[in-house]
Structure 1
Amino acid sequence: MQILLALIAGAVLGLAAHFTVGGRDTRGAVVGPMLGAVVGGLVWMVLTWAGVGIESPWIWVASFAAPVVVFPALAVLTRARMQHDARERARLKLA
């Protein structure tokens, strides 16, 4: 049941990343929160399978800190989308 806390924390960090990383208009509103929730949940799951219990502070720190990777992931995604859009505009001779 505690995995829900990791999922919620990941979604909140993903939401923060969505609003702080530029180029919001090039990606969907749910990409950041969903990516954050997935990362937080995966870290929790992996540490649980590795035998780390909920009484250990490492599972909490890792699952709450791991979704920070959403910030650079959204930046890369935004840059790739802008480059793709520019190539498509050039291919269609729109710009």
Structure 2
Amino acid sequence: MGLALIPAAVIGALIGLGLRYLIAGRQQYGLLLLPAAGAAAVCVTWVIGIWSGLSHEALWIWLISFSIASIVCIALAKALPPKREQADADLLAELMRPAAR
């Protein structure tokens, strides 16, 4: 039961790594963010699946875990770049403002 989680987590990290290079805006977040998020999403989904009675040999736990990991990684890859650009623009505006003396 527990050892099947290791290859699932590795595959989740590979899903995140692959999506990093398929979705635009990767320069706005760290190299390991999506692989870590993919692995974490697989692990959490896997544990919930095991606790709910799914077997590690069943196809459903694998499909659900990898689908959730893909959704999490895509959501992060789409949500983070605009927030980062806005935060950078706000910081630049603050730094360019003349200091009160």
Alignment TM-score > 0.5, same fold: yes
From 52, 75, 93, the equivalent of 1:72 is: 75
Q: Distance in 1 between matches of 2:85 and 2:36?
A: 21
Q: Equivalents in 1 of 2:65, 2:7: separation in Å?
A: 9
2:41 is matched with which residue?
39
1:50 aligned to which of 46, 49, 52:
52
Q: Secondary structure at the match of 1:90?
A: helix
Tell me whether 1:90 sits opposite 2:93 in the alignment. Answer: yes
TM-score, normalised to structure 2, is 0.84
The alignment yields a C-alpha RMSD, in angstroms, of 1.4
Amino acid at match of 1:64: F
Structure 1 residue 39, shift from structure 2 partner: 0.4
**Equivalence for 1:61:** 63
Structure 1 length as normaliser, TM-score?
A: 0.89
Deviation at residue 5 of structure 1 after TM alignment: 2.0
CA distance in 2: counterparts of 1:61 and 1:25, whole angstroms: 29
**Secondary structure of 2:75's partner?**
helix
